[in-house]
Amino acid sequence: MPTTLITNIGEAFTGDIAKPTAEISTLLVENGRIAALDPPADTRADMVIDAKGGAVMPGIVDGHVHPVFGEWTPTQNTIGWIRNYLHGGTTTMVSAGELHVPGLDYNNLSPDLMTNLALVTRATTGRTRWSGVKLHAGTVLMVPGMTEAHFDKLAEAGSILAKFLFYPLVEQNKDEAQRYVAWCHDRGIRVKVHTGGVSRSGANAVCGFETLSWLQPDVAAHVSGGPIPMSDADLDALVDETAFSLELCSSGSYRSFIRVAERLADAGRLDRLTLGTDTPGGTGVLARGMLRNILFLASVCGLSAGQAIAVGTGNTALAHGLDVGFLREDAPADIVLAGRIDGSAGSTVSEAIEHGDLPGISNVMIDGQVRVKGRSEQTPPPAIRAELTVEDWNAFGSCPFCG
C-alpha cells in the first residue's frame, strides 16, 4: 500500500479538546491511516507533501446536514454541494434526517414510511462516498407507533442516528419516546433531538430544557436555534443541569451561540460542545460553514484555535460514535492542510483563526487519498502553498488523486 509523508509541519491541531495542539513536524500515512506522528523527516514514502510551515488538522466533521439525493439538494436547487463542502475542509457528515424529499407530506408520516425513507436513503445516497466524503445518511425521523422491528431494520442497515423532529414530545408520549431512546441505545444507534422553536417544515413542536431533561438524548441539536433558539433560562439550565452533547449550528442565533459556548467554557465542559451547519436548508448551502463556526468560536467566544478546531472535529465525531476527527496514531488519515492567507492577521494559522480570519486550504486527504490537491476551490489559497511530490508512481495501483 502506498505511503505518504507530510513534512515541515508548522502547527498541528489534534482534534482532542483535552490537548488540542501537538509539537510535530512530520506525519506518516500508511494504509489509509495515520501510522506515525513525528517520524524522522527522511522516512521513505511514495508521496511527500511539504507543508512549508503550514498547519495540519483533522478533516472537519459536520454533525448536522440534510442530504436528499446524492449531491443534489432540492432546498436550494443546488448540485454538487458535498464536493463544495469537501473544499471547505469537511470530510465527514452526519445526516440529521432526510426530510427534504420533494413531496413528503409532513402531516402523514407513518412508522413504515419514515423507516423506509431512512432505509432507502441509507442504501442510495448513504452508500456512496460523494466526492470521497464520509456521509452517514439514513437517519430516521421518529414518529409515534414504531415497534422494535423498525429499529432492528435501521440497525441492520447501519444507521448511526435517529432523530426526534416531528415527534410530539408531550407528556402522554413520554413513555414511548423514552422507549425509543432505549431501543436505539440497545442497537448502538445514537439519538438526536430538534430543540428550540418551529423549524422550516412548520411541523414540529417547541422543545426546551424540560423536555430534554426527561428525554436524555445523546445530542441536543442546534441549541442556539435551528433556526429559533430556546429561552436564555432554558439554555443556562441545559448547560448546568444535563450532561449530554450540545450542538451549535450555522442555522441559529449568534447571540445564543455565544451564550452556550461561554457557559460551557466557564464550566470546564467544552467536551460537550459539537458543531454542524444544519444545511442544506433554509440557511443555504454553506461550503465554508464549518470553518466559519470554528472561526466564530475562536474569535468571538474566547476559545483557542486548537479548542475550536477540536469542537468541529474530535468532539463532533465522538458525540456521533465515529472513529474520525483526530490526528493520532492509527486514526483514519482524514487530514486538512492549511496556511494563513495573505492579508490576514497574525503570522500563523492559529493567530489568523483567533482573529476570525479564514485559513487557506491547500490539500484535503480522506483515508490517505488526496481529494483536494494544491488548493481548495472554496477558500483563498494560503500565502505559502504546500507542495506535493509523488516519489513513486508505481506504488499507486490507480491515480493517487482520482482513485
In this structure, what are the phi and psi dihedrals at residue 69, rounded to the nearest 5 degrees? -125, 100
Q: What's 240's DSSP letter? A: H
- Minimum CB–partner distance for residue 226 and Zn ion (Å): 5
For position 334 contacting Zn ion by CB under 5 A, the verdict is no
96 versus 352: smaller Cβ distance to Zn ion: 96
Distance of alpha carbon 202 from alpha carbon 100, whole angstroms: 13
Cα(first)–Cα(last) distance of the chain, in Å? 13
Beta bridge partners of 247: 274
- Minimum CB–partner distance for residue 393 and Zn ion (Å): 44
Binding mask 342-361 for Zn ion (x = CB under 5 A): --------------------
96 versus 324: smaller Cβ distance to Zn ion: 96
In this structure, what are the phi and psi dihedrals at residue 63, rounded to the nearest 5 degrees? -80, 0
Q: How many CA atoms lie within 13 A of 282 on its CB side?
A: 12
Using CB under 5 A, which of the segments 88-96, 169-177, 289-297, 339-347 binds Zn ion? Answer: 88-96
Distance of alpha carbon 68 from alpha carbon 179, whole angstroms: 28
Short-list 294, 336, 398, CA closest to 90 = 336
Distance of alpha carbon 353 from alpha carbon 345, whole angstroms: 9
Using CB under 5 A, which of the segments 135-143, 274-282, 340-348, 375-383 binds Zn ion? Answer: 274-282
Binding mask 95-124 for Zn ion (x = CB under 5 A): -x----------------------------
Using CB under 5 A, which of the segments 12-20, 141-149, 273-281, 339-347 binds Zn ion? Answer: 273-281
Site size for Zn ion (CB under 5 A): 2
Contact 147/111 with Cβ under 8 angstroms?
yes
In this structure, what are the phi and psi dihedrals at residue 258, rounded to the nearest 5 degrees? -60, -45
Using CB under 5 A, which of the segments 41-49, 91-99, 200-208, 372-380 binds Zn ion? Answer: 91-99
Helix-then-strand count for the chain, H and E: 11, 22
- Minimum CB–partner distance for residue 72 and Zn ion (Å): 18
Contact 64/247 with Cβ under 8 angstroms?
yes
- Minimum CB–partner distance for residue 305 and Zn ion (Å): 27
65 versus 364: smaller Cβ distance to Zn ion: 65
Distance of alpha carbon 160 from alpha carbon 73, whole angstroms: 22
95 versus 362: smaller Cβ distance to Zn ion: 95
For position 278 contacting Zn ion by CB under 5 A, the verdict is yes
Peptide bond into 217 cis (omega under 30): no
Ordered DSSP codes for 89-134: TEEEEEES--TT-TT--TTS--HHHHHHHHHHHHHTTTTS-GGG-E
- Minimum CB–partner distance for residue 276 and Zn ion (Å): 8
For position 275 contacting Zn ion by CB under 5 A, the verdict is no
289 versus 306: smaller Cβ distance to Zn ion: 289
- Minimum CB–partner distance for residue 66 and Zn ion (Å): 6
Task: Name the amino acid, one letter, at 160.
Answer: I
Beta bridge partners of 336: 57, 364
96 versus 294: smaller Cβ distance to Zn ion: 96
55 versus 61: smaller Cβ distance to Zn ion: 61
- Output the nine-digit C-alpha cell for 7: 513534512
- Minimum CB–partner distance for residue 202 and Zn ion (Å): 14
- Minimum CB–partner distance for residue 14 and Zn ion (Å): 28
Using CB under 5 A, which of the segments 22-30, 142-150, 227-235, 277-285 binds Zn ion? Answer: 277-285
Using CB under 5 A, which of the segments 34-42, 43-51, 89-97, 292-300 binds Zn ion? Answer: 89-97
**Footprint on residues 356-395 left by Zn ion (CB under 5 A):** none
**Footprint on residues 27-86 left by Zn ion (CB under 5 A):** none
Binding site for Zn ion (CB under 5 A): 96, 278
